[in-house]
């Protein structure tokens, strides 16, 4: 996507509304660009009503009296002002209200339209902070070849700070994580707008699971698949993003199995599985299957592959795959609550002719690219 001039754009399939500025102007004036990037709510503005969330598009006031002055000073120093805001409660029909609010805010701060851009994410996908989709789109839109990282920064209020006397804890660390992922210096609003800092710590431990310490148990699968002449059914058990579908594809190709999944087969799933069972087709059931009540498969050798992957790692992998496939929706934490709340650890006594193979993080080969190392 090449954008030659500035205009508003609504990219509905990405759930993004953006205003990318005048590209030609900035390419001429900023061969090495300085970026002053900001969150919106509780960073530039807060609700004037005193509520936690604004009641309408007009419910705002500057976070501090000098916000406009500081932004003007940044413009005078040839900074590109960029606003990145998550607005999950909005829809494609209401996101225009947020865009209008931002334009009104920047007009109030006396920042002209050739000096700033904004990106509004109203979807739960790879364009939502702390994923980098909005920032990647920003770089692409403005065709920025060189960024002055020593002078550029991202400013936001969500830094994961704990509660302290008279201060609530931050609702998340999404702004801090976003800054780490896009490679910019993180600053709190108090730092940028010259206000007293409360000195609460910003401490985050890099997610670093212990993985890949044991080889994949190929022999155990061979023993099951070639042990008898009976048809085989492989039942996956595991949380979303635990590696079930990747393994299902591998096993299907290696052993000639047919994969059935509610995600893929939808309402036809039960019918297709019943037909395959009557035909004694060897198959893989690729669902989360936290409980297996009612699963029978008479006449089959049965294998449960239990993906015993910690919730933290599954959710990290969930965010990672959305980062690399930005249009892939993030799976809600509610889904993980349901799975781990219902999970019954597989046991070979729960069915006749059943084998259980457990796979843990120690059996996984995880990507070594930078996106896997991001904070999510």
Contacts of 347 (CB under 8 A, 6+ apart): 356
Domain 9-192 fold: Rossmann fold (3.40.50)
**Per-residue confidence band for 129, with pLDDT thresholds at 50, 70 and 90:** very high
Q: Cα 27 vs. chain centroid, distance in angstroms? A: 31
Show me where the domains of the chain are located.
9-192, 218-373
Domains 9-192 and 218-373 share a fold: yes
Identify the CA nearest to 133 among candidates 348, 373, 371, 338. Answer: 371
pLDDT at 4 over 50: no
Structure confidence at residue 20 (pLDDT): 66
Tell me the sheet residues that pair with 304: 235, 356
Q: Model pTM?
A: 0.88
Write the pLDDT tens digit of every residue in 65-88: 999 999 999 999 999 999 999 999
Alpha helices in the chain (DSSP H): 23-29, 67-76, 95-108, 133-142, 174-182, 189-192, 218-226, 244-255, 262-265, 269-278, 311-324, 333-342
Write the pLDDT tens digit of every residue in 7-66: 467 888 888 887 765 544 444 455 558 999 999 999 999 999 999 899 999 999 999 999
Cα 20 from Cα 298, distance rounded (Å): 61
Identify the CA nearest to 62 among candidates 81, 82, 48, 79. Answer: 48
Cα 64 from Cα 332, distance rounded (Å): 35
Identify the CA nearest to 220 among candidates 362, 360, 357, 361. Answer: 357
Of 3.40.50.360, 3.90.550.50, 3.30.1370.100, 3.40.50.300, which CATH number belongs to 218-373?
3.40.50.300
Q: Return the SS3 of 277.
A: helix
Structure confidence at residue 30 (pLDDT): 53
């Amino acid at each position: 996507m090449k954008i030659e001039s500035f205009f508003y754009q609504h990219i509905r399939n990405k759930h993004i509304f953006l205003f990318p500025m005048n590209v030609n102007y900035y390419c001429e004036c900023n061969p090495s660009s300085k970026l002053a990037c900001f969150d919106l709510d509780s960073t530039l503005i807060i609700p004037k009503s005193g509520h936690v969330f604004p009641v309408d598009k007009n419910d705002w006031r500057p976070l501090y009296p000098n916000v406009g002055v500081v932004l003007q000073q940044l413009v005078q120093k040839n900074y590109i002002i960029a606003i990145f805001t998550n607005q999950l409660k909005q829809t494609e029909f209401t996101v225009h209200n947020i865009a209008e609010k931002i334009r009104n805010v920047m007009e109030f701060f006396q920042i002209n339209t050739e000096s700033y851009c904004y990106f509004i994410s109203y979807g739960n996908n790879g364009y939502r902070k702390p994923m980098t989709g909005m920032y990647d789109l920003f770089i692409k839109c403005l065709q920025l070849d060189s960024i002055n990282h020593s002078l550029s920064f991202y400013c936001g209020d969500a830094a994961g700070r704990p509660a302290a006397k008279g201060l609530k804890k931050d609702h998340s660390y999404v702004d801090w994580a976003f800054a780490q992922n896009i490679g910019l210096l993180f600053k709190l609003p108090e730092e940028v707008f010259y206000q007293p800092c409360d000195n609460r710590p910003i401490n985050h431990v890099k997610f670093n699971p212990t993985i890949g310490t044991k080889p994949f148990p190929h022999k155990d699968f061979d023993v099951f698949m070639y042990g008898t002449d009976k048809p085989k059914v492989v039942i996956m058990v595991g949380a979303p993003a635990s590696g079930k579908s990747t393994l299902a594809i591998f096993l299907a190709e290696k052993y000639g199995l047919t994969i059935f999944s509610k995600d893929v087969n939808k309402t036809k799933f039960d019918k297709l599985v019943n037909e395959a069972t009557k035909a004694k087709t060897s198959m893989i059931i690729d669902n989360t299957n936290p409980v297996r009540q009612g699963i029978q498969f008479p006449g089959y050798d049965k294998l449960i592959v239990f993906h015993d992957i910690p919730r933290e790692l599954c959710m990290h992998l969930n965010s990672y795959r959305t980062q690399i496939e930005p249009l892939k929706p993030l799976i809600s934490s509610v889904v993980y609550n349901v799975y781990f709340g219902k999970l019954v650890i597989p046991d070979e006594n729960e069915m006749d002719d059943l084998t259980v193979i457990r796979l843990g993080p120690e059996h996984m080969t995880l990507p070594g690219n930078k996106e896997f190392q991001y904070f999510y």
